[in-house]
Structure 1
Amino acid sequence: MPDASSSLDDQVRAADPDRWLSSRFVGDAQARADLIVLYALEAELMSIPTRVTQPLLAEMRYAWWREQMGGVFSGMARKGHPVLEALTDVVARRSLPREPFDALIDAHIDRVHGEPHDLNAFYVGPMQTAVRILIGHGHERAVAEAGQVWGLMQVGRAETAVTVRADANRALRKLPAAAFPAVAHAALKPDAPEPMKRLTLTWATLRGRI
């Protein structure tokens, strides 16, 4: 029977292949597994609108996840839930702040009610959290524009993303190489075939640029 970490890895590979691919460039196995936990949480949140058709029902499910954050950040994992158990451990070991998680859940609630994407909550905050997992605090500013580029590409605003990319790459010069897998997926075009994505990620990681 597969262990919980491999199950979460499979979940992310299916739900979020771009970030799963970028996580393969994390050399430390524990750090890579911790990163996958973050992405597994996001996969759970993203799947909710595909499971329910009514905004109120989706909001109720997001409210449940928001309530569970209380247990995650108090060290009281919800037993039997692989994502919440793993996240509780990662939050404690990596000293992660709660605010980006609450902002992400709130942004999902807004989306099911037809509000525009909150790029900071959906993309910048999670990318900054991923960097914290890999190298700790103090590097959040260096990836803010990269998070914007990633978000703009995801919502179909590629032309705007191009205008932000130069600033993002200048800021990324200050980012330690060990953290780059947390931002490498911002170099990808969503509709590119997987072999091309692998090449793009390899080249981006070698240069430290998106």
Structure 2
Amino acid sequence: MVGSDALDAQVRAADLDRWLSSRLVSDARPRADLIALYAFEAELMAIPTRVTQPLLAEMRYTWWAEQMDGVFAGMARKGHPVLEALADIVIRHGLNRAPFEGLIEAHIGRIHGEPHDLDAFYVGPMQAAVQVLAGPGHADKVVKAGRVRGLAQVGKTEEARALRKAANAALKDLPAVAFPAVASAALSRQDQPEPVKRLRLLAATLRGRI
């Protein structure tokens, strides 16, 4: 439980929007599974803040890429709470390895000045989160929602707004239990107070629309 609490606190500090979205998952275990996914992403996001040189950052990302062998074999590095939690959920939920590797590669690209890969940073992780909550078979329903979130995150709010209608049309067939995994796409501004974000996320989840 201590490990779960630590991951929860890590995600709250690193990614408030998705941490708030995870509060909408009523069952403790799937909520903790979501947090494990988001903690992995938090670890990757933190690397450029801890090292100043691209080569050193790339070395750390390469270490994470190498750890995926153990994670997907169910033999994660002992004593590393994020890797241990990740290994547990990828086995139980049958998660695909490609989005994890794609995310790491996208981070390496960013430190070398490459454009933001929205699908790697936002769509793939959202698809994994949806599978955690609702099982396989829903990946195509959240592609546009992932891009809406990504566009908003990089400041392209007009493009995000223009895509929202199509994203909501695709979300019509998404099981309600999976909606907390996409709810953060309803938040278009980073500077909103936490109580406002909570209300927007709740309203989006009740309506099933971002």
Paired position in structure 2 for 1:126: 125
Paired position in structure 1 for 2:26: 27
**C-alpha displacement of 1:161:** 0.4
**Alpha carbon RMSD of aligned pairs, Å?**
0.7
Code of the aligned partner of 1:205? T
Paired position in structure 2 for 1:164: 163
**C-alpha displacement of 1:32:** 0.3
Q: Distance in 2 between matches of 1:152 and 1:113?
A: 20
**C-alpha displacement of 1:191:** 1.7
Code of the aligned partner of 2:159? T
Paired position in structure 1 for 2:107: 108
**Aligned positions of 1:51-66 closer than 5 A:** 51-66=50-65
Say yes or no: does 1:191 pair with 2:191. yes
Q: Report the TM-score when normalising by structure 2.
A: 0.98
SS in 2 for 1:91: helix
Q: Distance in 2 between matches of 1:6 and 1:170?
A: 36
Q: Distance in 2 between matches of 1:75 and 1:21?
A: 29
Q: Distance in 2 between matches of 1:165 and 1:157?
A: 13
**Aligned positions of 1:64-143 closer than 5 A:** 64-143=63-142
**C-alpha displacement of 1:61:** 0.2
**C-alpha displacement of 1:3:** 1.1
SS in 1 for 2:123: helix
**C-alpha displacement of 1:187:** 0.4
1:71-114 deviation per Cα after TM superposition (whole angstroms, max 9, x unaligned): 00011110010000111111111110100000000000000000
1:30-60 deviation per Cα after TM superposition (whole angstroms, max 9, x unaligned): 0000000000000000000000010000000
**Structure 2 residues not aligned, in runs of 5+:** none
Q: Distance in 2 between matches of 1:91 and 1:28?
A: 18
Code of the aligned partner of 1:186? A
Code of the aligned partner of 2:6? S
Q: How many residues align?
A: 209
1:154-194 deviation per Cα after TM superposition (whole angstroms, max 9, x unaligned): 00000000110000000010101000000000001222111
Q: Distance in 1 between matches of 2:108 and 2:121?
A: 12
Paired position in structure 2 for 1:44: 43
Paired position in structure 1 for 2:207: 207
Code of the aligned partner of 2:151? L
Code of the aligned partner of 2:143? A
Q: Distance in 2 between matches of 1:85 and 1:74?
A: 11
Paired position in structure 2 for 1:181: 180
Q: Report the TM-score when normalising by structure 1.
A: 0.98
Paired position in structure 2 for 1:148: 147
Q: Distance in 2 between matches of 1:49 and 1:43?
A: 11
SS in 2 for 1:78: coil
Aligned-residue sequence identity (percent) comes to 69
Q: Distance in 2 between matches of 1:157 and 1:59?
A: 27
**C-alpha displacement of 1:146:** 0.2
Q: Distance in 2 between matches of 1:204 and 1:117?
A: 26
Code of the aligned partner of 2:70? G
Q: Distance in 2 between matches of 1:193 and 1:116?
A: 29
Q: Distance in 2 between matches of 1:129 and 1:101?
A: 9
